[in-house]
Structure 1
Amino acid sequence: MSESNDLLATCSYTEDTGRRLFRAVADLGSVAGWMSFDAGRHSSAQRLFVAAVHAASEGGDRQLGAHILQCMARQMSHLGHVEDALELVALAQYGARRHASPGTRAVLAALQSRFSAMCGELEENRRAARETEDAFTRIVPDDEPPHTRFFDEAELSAALGVAHQIAAKQATGRHRAERAEQSLAMLANALRLRPEGRLRSKTFDHIGLARTHLAVGELAGAYQEATTALTIAEGLHSTRVADRLSELYEETEPHASDSAISDLRDRLEHAVAAAH
């Protein structure tokens, strides 16, 4: 990424070639930033994402710029800065408002739904979930830019399943049960649709199912899903997975007196320690 930026700063090129070069560097930066994020190198990821956003702007690619902003939003949320994450999503939506494909709109709305739930804004969470599903129905895969083609039905189900899972934690009474039911159905559908090799995604799905079961006090279901997630995670090397397992460990604390959950907490603690 550094070498590519040096070339852009020192070489000469036509305006058209320059735009294409900046777009290529922006795409490179988004991939390198995401790899750094997944490895837990957050300062490096932030520098790469910022450089990629500037390159996308120079290249005149608003959709790619929106994609990089949503990557930055995911990182901010992961680090606990949810309001900053929401602002980044809003910035991406505004910047690409005249150019966004249905896939871009669906990805951004799904993140808005998740982050709204994290902020306790459950009506906005529900509205954004509906917007996500509406945009998804208008996707024509061959017309989508390369960076949104990952957002298939499995990703849609997983994204909204997590959004409903977070909402279930925030809701009470019948609303909690309703949101939990939606979350379980969507995450199960995501798992059903995942390609065989998507092990990290499957791990996240099982963790999401475990957290949903915990939200409604279904300890047997939480134990089963968490155990499956741990089994899959044994072959992975991802700081993000370890961080999600750590969050699951914290959420099991109120049930630590249950023998099965106590055993699960020991396994979670060992897995997180091994990952770091």
Structure 2
Amino acid sequence: ADLWRADLAEADLLVRAQPDSAAWNTAALRWLVAPPDRELARTGNRAIGVVDVEMVRSTSDAFSMLDGKFGGGHARRALIQYLHTDVRPMLDGKYSDAVGKQLHSAVAEALLLAGWMSYDSGLHGVAQRYFIQALRMTQAAGDRLLGGSVLSAMSHQATFVGRYQDAVALARAAYMGPGASLGPTMAAQFRAMEARALARLGDERGCDLALAEAESKICQRTADSDPLYIAYFDEVELAAEFGHCFRDLGRSVEATERGAGSIFGDGMNNRSDFFATMVQAEAYINQGEIGRGFEIALSALNLGEGLKSARCLQYVREFQSRVTDGMRRAAEFRDFAEQAGGFRLWLRAGLV
């Protein structure tokens, strides 16, 4: 609750905070070795039941939809306000141990989303704190699978901010923690996160092995093999992970081939489509097909018009950094730059 209040108040120290490697590692170790809380029954004044738990889950789902379509910066503050105003009193209410476990698991999902939205907004220290809170909630609920998903999210963020060794360790902890309960979809997602970090480290063999296992696992998924919250991770998402990894390893042709099926195109996953499209654009210019690369980049910038996301901005800046002096002198770039100047993300990133 203190974190939620400080976040809503936009406390300066919190907003400017950066993620801390020791905090990631300590949280992961505690989660791996500590037993679940013994008893979650509470004796507060307000009776909390299964319908309240469902309310939290449904509200989180609505915010998740907004996050994917418009970016984390669009409704992040509204989610934190909901946690502070509506969810906190539920945690202080009256409920049985069974309902308490369900409630803490549902709140963990909401906190995980708060972490993702904060991360997407460029508030990395804030995001880390929400992820750690979510992990603690999964520990209280005894929900090892959701705890693994939280560690996987931490790994994703660690890779983004350049803490690649931390990202590898977090992804491996996510894979190990759930034990025999780990389903194929979650296993594939965790291995993909490990592969992302290994690609950034230049560990080609390790990355290939992790991707191969992820691909093997995703083929084993069934309609009921994993929790609903991981259902988003499918063949399209895995294709995007292949694209990211091969781009980072300098294998641009493979990045365009394996990443070709990484676009949803449904209007509901605009941010994911933006990331995958920018990776494709970068891979094409890296292999010398600048006309094709610039054409794809324009498609990505068009997707980004409705996105409020610091991560999207960083992808544009990375793309700009890959445009060499020779490319800038080409007619294809002049045409591209003229059109790109009409898009918000390109202007915010600054011209190359």
Could you list the per-position Cα deviations for residues 17-47 of structure 1 after superposition, in whole angstroms to 9, with x for gaps in the alignment?
A: 2211211111110111111122222222111
Identify which of 238, 247, 250 aligns with 1:156. Answer: 238
Alignment match of 1:138 (pick from 213, 216, 220): 220
Look up the equivalent residue of 1:184 and give its one-letter code: T
Q: How many residues align?
A: 264
Change (3 A) 1:24 1:264: same
* TM-score normalised over the length of structure 2: 0.69
Question: Could you say which structure has the larger radius of gyration?
Answer: 2
Determine which of 319, 328, 350 is the counterpart of 1:248.
Answer: 319
What amino acid is the match of 2:119?
A: F
CA contact (8 A) 1:106 1:131 kept: yes
Could you say what secondary structure the match of 1:143 adopts? coil
* Alignment match of 1:26 (pick from 108, 111, 115): 108
Partner of 2:120: 38
Aligned 1:1-276 pairs, distance under 5 A: 1-2=83-84, 4-5=87-88, 7-8=90-91, 10-167=92-249, 169=250, 179-191=251-263, 193-259=264-330, 260-261=332-333, 264=336, 267=340, 271-274=345-348
Report if aligned partners of 1:237, 1:275 keep a CA contact under 8 Å in 2. no
Structure 1 ranges of 4+ moved more than 6 A: none
Q: Give, in whole Å, the separation in 2 of the partners of 1:261 and 1:128.
A: 36
Moved more, 121-130 or 158-167: 158-167
What's the secondary structure of 2:306's corresponding residue? coil
Q: Does the Cα contact within 8 Å between 1:114 and 1:125 map onto a contact in 2?
A: yes
Cα distance change on mapping 1:50 and 1:225 into 2, 3 Å: same
* Secondary structure in 1 matching 2:254: helix
1:107 CA displacement: 0.3
Cα offset for 1:143? 2.9
TM-score normalised per structure 1:
0.86
Shift of 1:154: 1.1
1:263 deviates by: 6.1
Tell me, in whole angstroms, the C-alpha distance in 2 between the residues paired with 1:82 and 1:264. 33
Name the aligned partner's letter for residue 147 of structure 1. Y
The AA in structure 2 aligned to 1:81 is R
SS in 2 for 1:213: helix
The answer (yes or no) to whether the contact 2:184–2:225 under 8 Å persists in 1 is: no
User: Which runs of 5 or more residues in structure 1 are unaligned?
Assistant: 170-178
**More deviation in 236-245 or 214-223?**
214-223
| 91-100 or 45-54, larger mean C-alpha shift | 91-100
